[in-house]
Structure 1
Amino acid sequence: MKNKIFLLIICLLVIICLIIIFIISKNRKKNEQQKDSIHHNSTELIENSDSKNLSEQKIENLKQDLGYNNNTDTTIYEIKNEYDGREVLTIKPNIQYKVAIAGAIKNAKPEFSELDKLLEQSPNESGIWITEDSREKVLKILKEITKSNYKIDNKGYLVQENNKNANEIDEKIKKIINEEKLYIIDIDKSAYIVDEVTGNIEEYPFEEIDPHTPFELFETENASMYIVTENTHNILNSKFIVDEILNTIND
């Protein structure tokens, strides 16, 4: 009987020892994994930081090579490759988009410092949104070339009320209104853009430069802004302008 008890105690001690060894081994492995993870994350942060610094330095070097002697933040630029392999600097599309909207909302040249404040007034739902000063003009154009009835709701979005006798343009507009994307329409002679050379926000009088230009387009992944010519000299007809806009959307 005593031998059995002794053997049982020995077995229990062995089991306890094995459990302790297992726990120690597991904790040691966990600590090693944590160290590896910390080392990996630190390395990744260093690599990302180095990559960012290299990219910023490359942009600064390109600015010098291209004669862009300005002190503008390098983050507004991106590097593009020309067909012949040359690297050039362009303003990031999302920056141009923000500046264009801010200028349309302010109805004057915006400053970089006020972009965020102005953009608080910009739309964030899908559909066709018309800037306040352009709403009556847009409705007038649509009345000339469509068969449906349109209105602009209290948020500034274009609404198609009745398309019983819809023509081709009406059908295209209906499709665009129902898309999960934002389209902004502003009617003006000029757009506000960031000049690549100076890095400053400048007025771009596109209608004066080329009266045959129907619009200037600014895009991001989920939104497009059309600054449509005022067509001051009636060089373009309304249907042509609208068709050109619709063609870019439906391409």
Structure 2
Amino acid sequence: MANPVRARSFDAVAAACDAHRPSCPPALFDAVEELAGLPLAGARVADVGAGTGLGTARLYGRGAEVTAVEPGDGMAGQFRRSLPDVSLVRGDGNSLPLRTGSMDLITYAQSWHWADPARSVPEARRVLREGGALALWWNDGDPAVEWLVGQEDRMRAFFGVEAPAVPSHEARFRAALPDGLDSRTRRVAWSRRVPIERHIANLAAYSDFLTGDPVAVRSFLDRERAVLEALFPGGEVEEAYVVSLAVAHR
């Protein structure tokens, strides 16, 4: 697993992730069906890196026969509390604990970057039936929204990193695919309105903050809360997101 310490940092705050993390809009799953070329109702789906089940719940709600795959103890425990009727197996995308050819669709909801593409792509091809699909998506702040850009800049300054000139999520995924296997992409914009405190709690559950110096992190989040309270005296923010979706067929 890439960055195992950061990846497993979520286990300690699984309940907070479940309570404060954004999920995804219904339009995303319409796009998954369109690009994958199959209805979710009745489809055999493996949701890899399922976490507490935010994405899994949406797939299950669309009628999919979902098996969640999650390596972390804390996240798996919260998943079982949140979705007791959904199948859960322990493992990760680098070595899927699933039968060859057993799935119509494999999904990674904001979790592909924790896997090793050199191992996870062959594993996905093994587990998918012929004609099955691999769908990945990432939920990022909308770069057209000024206050979100300002917050991103402040976080980069805090962590001492510059805005990276790197390919998009979709481009990195395409680069990991074997020759002859291509992907289709879609972007879906959406938003949610939440209290400032919930927005701060969501930030606090980012792996960078979870593995940072606790005193420095607390100070940064206190300053960020003050910035947002000045910008939004009503006490709520509208978080704007753009979901990047990539789907490849076996």
Using the size of structure 2 for normalisation, the TM-score is: 0.20
Q: Provide TM-score, normalisation by structure 1.
A: 0.20
- Normalized per residue, which structure has more strand? 2
Q: Which has the higher contact order (CA 8 A, sep 6+)?
A: 2
Structure with bigger helix share is 1
